[in-house]
Structure 1
Amino acid sequence: MMPELLEALAARLRILEDREAIRDLIASYGPLADAGEARALAALWTEDGIYEVVGFAQAEGHSAIAALIEGEAHRTLMADGCAHLLGPVAVEVDGDTAIARGHSVVFRHSPAGYAPYRVAANRWTLKRRPEGWRVAHRRNALLDGNETARILLAPGHPAS
């Protein structure tokens, strides 16, 4: 009986550790984006990972993802003053893959102060790698009433 109990506890602990690692990874996105750390941000993804901003851009691989942060649109946002806030996220772990669902808000500074610039739904598909959890696909869609954003937040729907 005792080995079975220990095995069950070890399995539960692993899921909790996986969820915490995934939440830490997602939480690191905002500070890296705001600091302009394009390469470190891109390293959150798998080598062939995809970052999809519905209606705006899709980047595949570390170089393309880093280029989004190094691009004019993001540099202008940083020059104005911005804050990328993500989470909390709901995380579902299934072995070496996981899905995380949640919100992101980008605040932009103006002479009147900070205001929401972009409020979006996010679905993250993650894979366990030898170096830890990495993003295989992040799909982000504005919460502007369109069905795509609602689907991203709903449990049980495919990641893309």
Structure 2
Amino acid sequence: MADLEQRLQALEDREAIRNLIASYGPLADCGAADELAALWSEDGRYGVSGFADAHGRPEIAGLIEGAYHQQLMADGCAHLLGPVAIDLSGDTATARGHSVVLRWNGAAFEVLRVAANRWTLARIDGGWQVTRRDNALLQGDAAARELLRP
């Protein structure tokens, strides 16, 4: 029975992590800064290579409330996160995958960003939270590719 319980817990954990990551795009696109920041732990970090290194929920919310993101929403945008590969280890996990940001240019959607992502998560108070997310454009850099490596 213990083996079955462990397998069920792992499935539930993976589903919770996938749901958490999938909620990022809709929250970003509707400008729900506080709800998006609540995906992170209190002292979580969000590093976007060449753009930002936000530490803590207020700074992470500030990325959504900032002028750049507000203009992106005004133009029309979609943050799409692909499936993630999840490595579980008890109360911590790592998820790796891609993200794409599309922007409306007045006539059609254009690809604004294609990035590699590494999410580090922890079970905190019975639920999963992001402790760190690193995001880097896939422009041929080895550092960006490394984010996808198991």
TM-score for the superposition, normalised by structure 2: 0.99
Matches within 5 A, 1:11-90: 11-90=6-85
Runs of 4+ off more than 3 Å: none
Structure 1 portions without partners, runs of 5+: 1-5, 156-160
After superposing the two structures, state which structure 1 stretch, 92-101 or 126-135, moved more.
126-135
The alignment yields a C-alpha RMSD, in angstroms, of 0.6
Distance (Å, rounded) in 2 between the aligned partners of 1:16 and 1:90: 13
Which AA in structure 2 matches 1:69? Answer: I
| Equivalent position to 2:124, from 106, 126, 129 | 129
**1:107 aligned to which of 81, 84, 102:** 102
Paired residues in the alignment total 150
Q: Which has the larger radius of gyration?
A: 1
- Distance in 2, matches of 1:44 and 1:87, equals 17
Q: Deviations over 1:91-129 (max 9, x none)?
A: 011000000000000000012210110000000000001
Alignment match, 1:3: none
> Equivalent pairs: percent with the same residue?
64
Q: Measure the CA separation in 2 of the matches of 1:113 and 1:102.
A: 26
State how far apart, in whole Å, the 1-side matches of 2:59 and 2:117 are. Answer: 19
TM-score by length of 1: 0.92
Q: SS in structure 1 opposite 2:147?
A: helix
Distance 1:105 1:133 in 2: 23
User: CA–CA distance in 2 between the matches of 1:7 and 1:59?
Assistant: 40
Amino acid at match of 1:120: A
Question: Which residue pairs with 2:89 in the alignment?
Answer: 94
- Name the stretch that deviates more: 28-37 or 127-136: 127-136
Give me the whole-angstrom Cα distance separating, in 2, the residues matched to 1:78 and 1:131.
33
